[in-house]
């Protein structure tokens, strides 16, 4: 097994499990504590404040690589097994859905337009 295949499978498994718990967090049958933990993990990932700042090489991403899997694992322990199987099947079906290349191009186009606008504004300020 090559390292690239292991990394690809690990990333796929993490993405699938995160999606499974996102489905679980929205289901009324899921215990409140599991929903709370999933919400806290999502808030931590999306928060600009980290335990270790992201600009520090290697160690900046280490906290996410530790906090996220542990939080997802702990939340999955709190959800009944029968529900986890249902959520897992739903997550598997969602993972098989093709990615929208048109949507990705639209987002990239918007970011390029923003970057050009900012660059033009900075250029105008420098030469006036």
How many angstroms separate the CA atoms of 11 and 34, rounded? 22
For the chain, percent of residues with pLDDT exceeding 70 = 89
How many angstroms separate the CA atoms of 54 and 21, rounded? 25
Q: 17-71, pLDDT tens digit by residue?
A: 778 878 888 889 989 998 888 888 877 776 777 677 767 777 777 777 787 788 8
Q: Looking at the whole model, is its pTM more than 0.75? A: no
> Interhelix angle for 3-26 vs 59-78, to 10°?
50
Average pLDDT over residues 101-116: 90
Query: So what's the pLDDT on residue 103?
Result: 82
Query: So what's the pLDDT on residue 1?
Result: 55
Q: How many residues appear in the chain? A: 128
How many angstroms separate the CA atoms of 107 and 115, rounded? 12
Selected residue with higher pLDDT from 128 and 117:
117
Q: From its phi and psi, is residue 44 left (phi > 0), alpha (psi between -120 and 50) or beta? A: alpha
């Amino acid at each position: 097994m090559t390292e690239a295949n292991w990394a690809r499978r690990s990333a796929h498994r993490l993405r699938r499990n995160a999606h499974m718990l996102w489905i679980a967090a929205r289901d009324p049958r899921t215990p409140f504590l599991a929903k709370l933990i999933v919400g806290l993990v999502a808030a931590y990932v999306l928060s600009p404040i980290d335990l270790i700042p992201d600009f520090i090489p290697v160690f900046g991403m280490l906290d996410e690589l530790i906090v996220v899997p542990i939080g997802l694992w702990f939340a999955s322990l709190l959800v009944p097994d029968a529900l986890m199987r249902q959520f897992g099947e739903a997550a598997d079906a969602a993972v098989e859905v093709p990615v929208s290349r048109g949507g990705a191009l639209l987002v990239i186009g918007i970011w390029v337009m923003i970057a050009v606008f900012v660059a033009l504004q900075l250029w105008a300020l420098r030469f006036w």
